[in-house]
């Protein structure tokens, strides 16, 4: 059965990410943090698993007929996945390294994928009390302590010198060469999918990712950024970053740009 993303789901997803954020913060506030290494040597904590449990159980209640793929339950055979037209793609705790450092730059990510496109997404940063959410046919918003901001209503003028955002914990060799071709720029490092969110909020212009990421790292924030007119494209081919189109779950290198920079 074909599913089109329903507007009422967006509010439900915001509540689900906040519930997952509460589960994460219980671990974040504890004195000791038990960190394990996964098969690929990436770290995983009790917070990742607690958030995963909250989200998966909530999505099963919301849309029991739509499959779910999570970073913490990613061993789904390609023969099964390639049949999916729609599914939920989640990263229960994006920025585990930032979580372990306790710098607050981590997020809960939930995306709705439709025929390979990141159609809708929610990105919640519990410590920062910021929730970015949007869908391609609805728009995008930021909910924070200051209230709700319609990201499509922000008047942003492109600066003369591009403001570039990059990873705090994953610096790639190719980034230096890209920045050299870019010329004069301002550089800011920040963890997790918050890099996309700075573009969506008009606080940055370009996010070049010339290093490895997985599909769950990018989908939710890509949906938010594209819902305000930004772009996320393959660095080589210039095609929109897509999902579940191949067996490997690694993304190609990509360039994300804010709407005001695309419009220059």
Domains and CATH numbers, the chain: 7-150 (3.30.540.10), 163-262 (3.40.190.80)
> Do the Cβ atoms of 221 and 121 come closer than 8 Å?
yes
Mean pLDDT value across residues 236-260: 96
With pLDDT > 70 as the criterion, what percentage of the chain qualifies? 95
75 is in an annotated binding site: no
Q: What is the per-residue pLDDT for 196?
A: 98
71 is in an annotated binding site: yes
> Do the Cβ atoms of 128 and 24 come closer than 8 Å?
no
95 is in an annotated binding site: yes
Q: What is the per-residue pLDDT for 171?
A: 65
**If pLDDT is split at 50, 70 and 90, which confidence band does 1 have?**
very low
Judged against a pLDDT cut of 80, whether residue 98 lies above it is answered with yes
Mean pLDDT value across residues 132-148: 96
Q: Which residues contact 96 (CB under 8 A, 6 or more apart)?
A: 42, 43, 44, 45, 48, 106
Judged against a pLDDT cut of 70, whether residue 119 lies above it is answered with yes
Judged against a pLDDT cut of 60, whether residue 17 lies above it is answered with yes
91 is in an annotated binding site: yes
Q: What is the per-residue pLDDT for 2?
A: 42
- Catalogue the long-range contacts made by 57-64 (C-beta closer than 8 Å, 24 or more residues apart): 58/12, 58/16, 58/19, 59/16, 59/88, 59/90, 59/110, 62/9, 62/12, 62/16, 63/3, 63/9, 63/88
Who wins on pLDDT, 189 or 40? 189
35-37/43-45 β-pairing = antiparallel
**If pLDDT is split at 50, 70 and 90, which confidence band does 31 have?**
low
**Measured distance CA(138)–CA(21) in Å, rounded:** 24
134 is in an annotated binding site: no
Q: What is the pLDDT of residues 142-184, one digit of tens each?
A: 999 999 999 999 989 999 999 999 887 666 778 888 888 999 9
96 is in an annotated binding site: yes
């Amino acid at each position: 059965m074909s599913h089109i993303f329903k507007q009422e789901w967006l509010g439900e997803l915001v509540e689900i990410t906040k519930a997952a954020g509460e589960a994460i913060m219980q671990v974040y506030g504890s004195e000791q943090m038990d960190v394990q290494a996964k098969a690929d040597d990436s770290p995983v904590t009790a917070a990742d698993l607690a958030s995963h449990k909250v989200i998966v159980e909530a999505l099963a209640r919301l849309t029991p007929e739509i499959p779910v793929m999570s970073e913490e339950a990613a061993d789904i055979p390609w023969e099964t996945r390639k049949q999916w037209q729609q599914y939920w793609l989640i990263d229960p705790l994006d920025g585990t390294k930032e979580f372990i450092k306790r710098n607050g730059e981590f997020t809960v990510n939930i995306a709705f994928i439709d025929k390979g496109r990141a159609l809708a997404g929610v990105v919640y940063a519990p410590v920062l009390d910021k929730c970015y959410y949007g869908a391609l046919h609805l728009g995008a918003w930021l909910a924070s302590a200051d209230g709700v901001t319609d990201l499509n209503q922000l008047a942003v003028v492109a600066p003369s010198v591009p403001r570039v955002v990059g990873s705090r914990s994953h610096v790639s060799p190719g980034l230096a060469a890209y920045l050299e071709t870019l010329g004069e720029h301002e550089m800011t490092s920040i963890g997790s999918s918050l890099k996309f969110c700075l573009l969506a909020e008009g606080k940055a212009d370009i996010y070049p990712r010339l290093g490895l990421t997985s599909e769950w790292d990018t989908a939710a924030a890509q949906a938010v950024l594209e819902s305000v007119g930004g772009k996320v494209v393959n660095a080589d081919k210039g095609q929109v970053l897509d999902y579940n189109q191949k067996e490997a779950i690694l993304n190609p290198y990509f360039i994300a740009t804010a709407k005001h920079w695309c419009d220059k």
